[in-house]
Amino acid sequence: MPIAVAGALGFIVAGWNVESASGGLGYIHTQALMSIVAMSVLFAPLGAKVAHSVDGKKLKKFFAIFLAFLGLTVIAF
């Protein structure tokens, strides 16, 4: 959490004098920030329930496949 806060403050300070059409806060787009916060608050309990109801081995396997897919996507594009 402290790293995320420091990073966010860095983006705010670094982009403080940059004009943006969206009315963001530095390099942070406030509408996107609020959307991400709202969805995180709404769906975090659901994700926790699903994670606790699924077998640990299956969850690890799914996560490994998901990360491999993301890695291949980053390399390909």
- What is the predicted pLDDT for the residue at 39? 98
Q: Are 40 and 33 in contact (CB under 8 A)?
A: no
Q: What is the pLDDT of residues 6-61, one digit of tens each?
A: 999 999 899 888 877 677 888 888 899 999 999 999 999 999 999 899 999 999 99
Please state, in angstroms and rounded to a whole number, the distance separating the CA atoms of residues 58 and 9.
38
- What is the predicted pLDDT for the residue at 53? 94
Identity (one letter) of the amino acid at 45? P
Instruction: Kindly list the distances between the CA atom of residue 8 and the CA atoms of 21, 37, 48, 76, in Å, as whole numbers in the listed order.
Output: 20, 14, 26, 29
Residues 62-74 have a mean pLDDT of 97
pTM as predicted: 0.65
